[in-house]
Chains A and B, each alone.
Chain A
Amino acid sequence: MRRVVVTGLGLVTPLGGDVETTWANILASKSGAGPITKFDAADQKCRIACEVKPADHEYGFDANKRVDGKIQRQVDPFIVFGIDAAGQAIEDAGLVDMDEATKLRAGCSIGSGIGGLPGIESESLVLANRGPGRVSPHFVHGRLINLISGQVSIKYGLKGPNHAVVTACSTGAHSIGDAARMIRDDDADIMLAGGAEATICPIGIAGFAQARALNCSFNDRPEQASRPYDKDRDGFVMGEGAGVLVLEEYEHAKARGAKIYAEVVGYGLSGDAYHVTAPDPQMDGAFRSMSAALKKAGMTPADIDYINAHGTSTMADTIELGAVRRLFGDAMANVSMSSTKSAIGHLLGGAGAVESIFCILAMRDQIVPPTLNLDTPDEGCDEVDLVPHTPRKREVRAVLNNSFGFGGTNASLIMRKLD
């Protein structure tokens, strides 16, 4: 069977415009949260978010590095983040100069949960206030979810599968899992896989706040608002950014002497068939997606050293933990589980990809990232290593990453370090 490894990484997050800056800030227990600056949020219930910082910030993002100015004007920010993260991953993998035969076997699977919401919002206002003749000719393709994959394929000449997952907050994880299967099934040798999101705009914040999903009670203390597993947690903090990985067939990577970060060994998917936004209280869907991933990997829970939890800082945190406990049993004693959403917020469709990259870096550096703000663990959260406040050095051989999305869609990924 064809094996799939990771050979390149790219990140745009509220804690950095690249992989190493973001990771250093994660390990320094920094928070990317702050008051919303992208628009006047004075009339919103939620007035905080984890925004990607401007280029002149200490850990800001410079869109001009990899994205043409003309494209920046035409497309929504999630596409800009995605193109840049994909570019970083291609550079990291040493694939900037692919020959034509390689390009024919290289594809993209970069999705988004929501897509171009800020542009849909602003152009709707143009339509209402100034009429259809003023709507931008770039409106449609500047907002479509599959246009990261589209733009990246055009920029780098990638002529293999061109795919984009849309499964809400599971998008990033499904994108990686689906892309790994495309390589395994011999549709491609190389896949750019990941997810991006940028929905910090009035309608995005209002919509999630009205759905009672966002934290609205820490507006005066933004850095403390994302607090997974803590007794005082009160909803997620919206993040934005992108994560993209280069997945590559193992022999292909080995033959060109590529740096190999990890192997993608397990991928599980399931549906809750329960409720549009609330998780099944039994978390049976999560249990089944994790079980399926373990089975595919040929592993037992004892083989997993670190879990990057979905852990959004909502009531669902303890439900996820319950499912993990049910699956892991005695192996719970050895596993560390944390939620990096405590630091960068919830990147929605980007989350699963960004968090998979954190999992890979945890294996590279043999250190697990912390759960910030876990001051008073909620009931049932005290006998588990949730890595409160600061990172911890430990052995990390294999990792599990969970992502769950609205609609009751679950994805679990397992990656391992190669010997």
Chain B
Amino acid sequence: MSDTADRVKKIVVEHLGVEADKVTEDASFIDDLGADSLDIVELVMAFEEEFGVEIPDDAAEKISTVSDAIKYIEENKG
């Protein structure tokens, strides 16, 4: 898988304190990885920082799985 996916997964592992093998692409942040809404805000900030992209609130609200995040970043990074 892409470099983006690896970096996204690394951020998720660090921020949510979950095991790396649980962070599959179809894992839902809330349902599968135990995140709450504030954790997602923090994750989105970390993605913005790592990839130099801006993720507006309306786009952030649609990111609910690991693959949603990877897809958004792939499509929008500079």
Residue ranges of A at the interface with B (Cβ–Cβ < 8 Å) = 68-70, 73, 133-134, 136-138
Contact = CB atoms under 8 A, between A and B. Distances in A.
A206 B45 CA distance: 32
A138 B46 CA distance: 13
Contacts of A136: 42, 45
A73 B45 CA distance: 15
Majority-rule SS of A interface residues? helix
B42 to A, nearest CB: 5
B41 to A, nearest CB: 4
Contacts of B38: 137-138
B11 interface: no
A133 B53 CA distance: 13
A138 B42 contact: yes
Contacts of A134: 45
Contact of A137 (B16, B17, B41): B41
A68 B42 contact: no
B41 A68 contact: no
13 contacts: A68-B17, A69-B17, A70-B15, A70-B16, A70-B17, A73-B15, A133-B45, A134-B45, A136-B42, A136-B45, A137-B42, A138-B38, A138-B42
Nearest to A136: B42
A73 B38 CA distance: 13
A70 B43 CA distance: 12
A274 to B, nearest CB: 43
Contacts of B41: 137
Interface in B4-23: 15-17
A133 to B, nearest CB: 8
Nearest to A135: B45
Nearest to B18: A70
A138 B38 CA distance: 7
Contacts of A73: 15
Q: Which 7 A-B pairs have CB atoms at the shortest separation, nearest pair first?
A: A137-B41, A70-B17, A137-B38, A69-B17, A137-B42, A138-B38, A70-B16
Nearest to B49: A134
A73 B17 CA distance: 10
Nearest to A69: B17
B69 to A, nearest CB: 16
Given A73-B15, A137-B42, A137-B45, 10 more contacts: A69-B17, A70-B15, A70-B16, A70-B17, A136-B42, A136-B45, A137-B38, A137-B41, A138-B38, A138-B42
